[in-house]
Structures are given as structure tokens and as C-alpha cells.
Structure 1
Amino acid sequence: MDFKALFAFLEKLQKNNCKHWMDANRDEYEKVRDNYIEWLNSMDMKLAEIDEDYYHTTGKKAINRINNNLLYHPNKPTYKDHFGAGLDKRPKTSDFYIHLGVNECFLAGGFYRPKSDFLKSIRDAIDYNGEVLKEIIKESEFQKLFDGLMEDEKLKTSPKGFSKDHDYIELLRHKSFAAHRPISRKQVESSCFDDLVIETYQAMLKFRRYLNKAVTV
């Protein structure tokens, strides 16, 4: 995969973010997109080899649309300045997300601002066995790669139905339960990027399994 070509296209798109420019440069976009889909297909196979519970996700299903949803976000530009994709995309569970953009690149997994029923299920799981999640987050590899849970808005008080002196109140106050690893463009463009993706996937596997069990059991 020529990631330098991917970033070069995104830089041009960011400077010319309109349908007229995209229409004139659609061949380049489709070439970059199709190459990225091929890379995702390859990564899909590699992750399936290391995780017996992996949910096969083709590149076409993994990749997100590059168009912004202007119906709900009318102030956003017409197109995104990144390629986003979710692998291990089993329905109603967390996926493994890859974000390659002009301004930031990162690998992530878990639930960012989950809908209310998922959030309730995760909090119920923490109430039942929060020590398990706490130990997962405290593991040295998890701390080294993700520095704990991804920083996001938290409740200032306890969630409804939970005491403010609950043993795991700091976990219960989270509105998002996600792990996030920032990466550089240099890392993406290196020959070791596939290995970095696999390392990250493995490091967050127990974390994602805990959350997935919480929302499906």
C-alpha cells in the first residue's frame, strides 16, 4: 500500500474540499481508495490468523464513506480529511478502528459515546466485576500503548442508580469506553506499519472482549 499517495491525495482534498474538485479528480480518489481497500483485505486476513474469534470484515465493508453527513452536520466540509475504517466489525459490538488523516492518525477500539442501552450494560458489568476491567486497563502493555482509557467527557457525579462512593465510581463516570493510540504519518508510511497494527489489535483485545461481553450478554 502506497500510504504516501494516500496522504498526498488527502492534502489536496483538504485544500479543495468541494464536489467540483472531487469530480475532476475522482480517478485519483478511486485509485487511492481501492488500494486502501486491498490493504484492509490483507489486514483482515492477518488479524483473523491471530484471533480465533475475529469477525471477517472485507475492506469494502470496513471503510467509511469519505462524504460528511451534511444533513446532521451542515457546517462540516463536504468531504472528510481522513480515511476511516473498522475491522472485526461484528454487529452490535465494538470494532477495531483505523484513522489515517491529514491532521491526525490513530488506532482505536471500544465504544466512543455509546448509545444509552450499551452504556447502561457496560456500567452494569462494571458494577458486577469492575475489578476485571480495572486490571485490564492497569496492565503495563495497555498503559504503554494507550495510557489508560481515552480522555473524554465524564459525569461530574455518579450515574443514576449508582452510589457516589461506589468502588468503581471513577470508571462508572466515563461516557466513553475506548482505547486510543496516536500514531505518526512516519509510522504509517514505514515498512513496519502492519506489525504496529497487529501489536495494537492484540494489546486491546481483552479490553474489547470485556466490553463486547457486557453489551451482548
Structure 2
Amino acid sequence: MSLTKETFNFLKDLSKNNNREWFNANKERYLIAHENAISFADELIEQMKKHDDIETPNGKKSLFRIYRDVRFSKDKSPYKNHFSGSLKRAGKLLRGGYYFHIEPGNSMIASGFFQPEKDDLLRIRQEITADATPLRELLNNTTFKNTFGVLQGEQLKTAPKGFDKEHPDIDLINYKNYYVVSKFSDADAQQPDFAKKVSERFQVLRPYLNYFSEVLTTDENGLPLD
């Protein structure tokens, strides 16, 4: 399933005319573009179910609202200039999720752990401190690197409290987020097999997500959490 040229044109025009008057005058264009995004997400879910357990029931449920929350933002533009959504993995043992973002000139997918909860972040750091080899092997895998590059996210300037700043794996311990990103061109997103291509890239992440799932569902001794 591809995203249409009309969808990208709508998002381009919305970016230049981000106000309620223009949006209301172009509501029909929005509805058509929104349905296109839903159809893409529906097909993506079906593709993803071939290699992962996806809890998100359908494309419509996966999409985030296009309306921005401007209460605490200096930017008062009422609408996002993109379509985006997420797919949740099923069950407590499958951690992590999948994010997709459709925007002219900035379409991407991402996965991993963005702003993890305090306890999860501590558990990740404990595991890396004990043995970072499995994570480094995943990050250095050729296919993984060619698809997603390197870890993204903010890093501390010094060691987290309670961790040795001289630890040989402090570069990984200092991360506050553990996610990765892969980008697509507008032309890629308008190809008929786009949902399949996105699913294939997400599949490359399975060993990465499985590693974190095991870490976050066990204690420091490797025993399952209650």
C-alpha cells in the first residue's frame, strides 16, 4: 500500500497554511488523506503480524490525532504537518513498540525505548554494566547498522548516579533513550510495496527488541519478574 501524491501535497499545503480557516476550507482533502494513511496502517499491521504479535487492532486505532496540544507550547500552530502512529506489541513479555511518521521530506520509522520509565532505565543500565556484549553485537550487526545506523537519543554528560564513570561501557550506560530511526524518501513512501518495506525494516529490529524484552521482564539474576 502506498501513500498517494495527494496525501503528500495536502501535508505540504497544510505546513504552509497551518490555521483553522484553511484547514476547514480543505476538510475534504484532509479526510481523503487521512483515509489513505489509515489504509497504509491497516496493511502495515497485516504485514507485521507475519513476524510479530501486534496488539493494535487496526490502522485507525494506530494513528495519532492531527490536532496539536498547544497548551504548553510556544508554537500555537493548531495542526501537525504529518501523519504518525504506533503499533503496540501484544502481552507483557514483548516490550517496545513501532512508530511510523509520514511527512514530506521527513518520513521515518523508529523503535526501541524513548524516555523509558525510571525503573526500566535503571534495569537496562544494570544489564549493560553486567555485560554489554549482547547489546554491542546487536548494534554492530551489519544489517542492523545499514538499516538503522546508530542509537539515537539524549546522553548524560557524566555517569548516572550509582554508576562508575570509568566503566568500559559508560558510553552505553549514559544513554537516557535506547531507540533507533530509519528514514524513507517521499518516492519510497509512494511505492505500492511501502507497507511491506516498512515491515521488513521493522523485522530487522526483532532481535534488538527481544533483547530488551528479556532484560525488562527479568531481575538482575535473570529470574522472571512477578
Question: What is the TM-score of this pair, normalised by structure 2?
Answer: 0.86
Tell me the equivalent position of 1:195.
Answer: 196
Q: Which amino acid aligns with 2:125?
A: R
Tell me the equivalent position of 2:82.
Answer: 82
For residues 157-191 of structure 1, give each alpha carbon's deviation from its aligned partner in whole angstroms, at most 9, with x where no partner exists.
11111111223211111111011112111111123
Structure 1: distance between partners of 2:65 and 2:205: 25
Secondary structure, counterpart of 2:111 in structure 1: strand
Task: Report the CA distance between 1:127 and its aligned residue.
Answer: 2.7
Structure 2: distance between partners of 1:103 and 1:76: 22
Tell me the equivalent position of 1:58.
Answer: 58
Residues 127, 168 of structure 1: 8 Å contact kept: yes
Structure 1 residues 103, 117: CA separation in 2 closer, same or farther (over 3 Å shift)? Answer: farther
Q: Which amino acid aligns with 2:37?
A: Y
Matched, 1:142 2:144: yes
Secondary structure, counterpart of 1:180 in structure 2: strand
Structure 2: distance between partners of 1:22 and 1:38: 22
How many pairs are equivalent? 215
Structure 1 residues 118, 101: CA separation in 2 closer, same or farther (over 3 Å shift)? Answer: same
Answer with 55-64 or 154-163: which moved more.
55-64
Secondary structure, counterpart of 1:125 in structure 2: helix
**Please, which of 112, 115, 123 is the counterpart of residue 121 of structure 1?**
123
Secondary structure, counterpart of 2:132 in structure 1: helix
Residues 62, 89 of structure 1: 8 Å contact kept: no
**Please, which of 91, 112, 115 is the counterpart of residue 110 of structure 1?**
112
Tell me the equivalent position of 1:44.
Answer: 45
Unaligned runs of 5+ in 1: none
Higher helix share: 1
Residues 158, 164 of structure 1: 8 Å contact kept: yes
Answer with 137-146 or 67-76: which moved more.
67-76
Structure 2: distance between partners of 1:99 and 1:185: 12
Tell me the equivalent position of 2:223.
Answer: none
Structure 2: distance between partners of 1:71 and 1:216: 36
For residues 92-147 of structure 1, give each alpha carbon's deviation from its aligned partner in whole angstroms, at most 9, with x where no partner exists.
84211111112411111012233433322322232344221111111110111111
Residues 179, 204 of structure 1: 8 Å contact kept: no
| Structure possessing the higher relative contact order (Cα contacts under 8 Å, 6 or more residues apart) | 2
Segments of 4+ in structure 1 off by > 6 A? none
Structure 1: distance between partners of 2:80 and 2:216: 30
Secondary structure, counterpart of 2:68 in structure 1: coil
Residues 43, 195 of structure 2: 8 Å contact kept: no
Q: Identity over aligned residues, as a percent? A: 30
Residues 17, 79 of structure 1: 8 Å contact kept: yes
Secondary structure, counterpart of 2:110 in structure 1: strand
Task: Report the CA distance between 1:44 and its aligned residue.
Answer: 0.5
Residues 48, 56 of structure 1: 8 Å contact kept: no
Matched, 1:94 2:96: yes
Question: What is the TM-score of this pair, normalised by structure 1?
Answer: 0.89
Task: Report the CA distance between 1:85 and its aligned residue.
Answer: 1.0
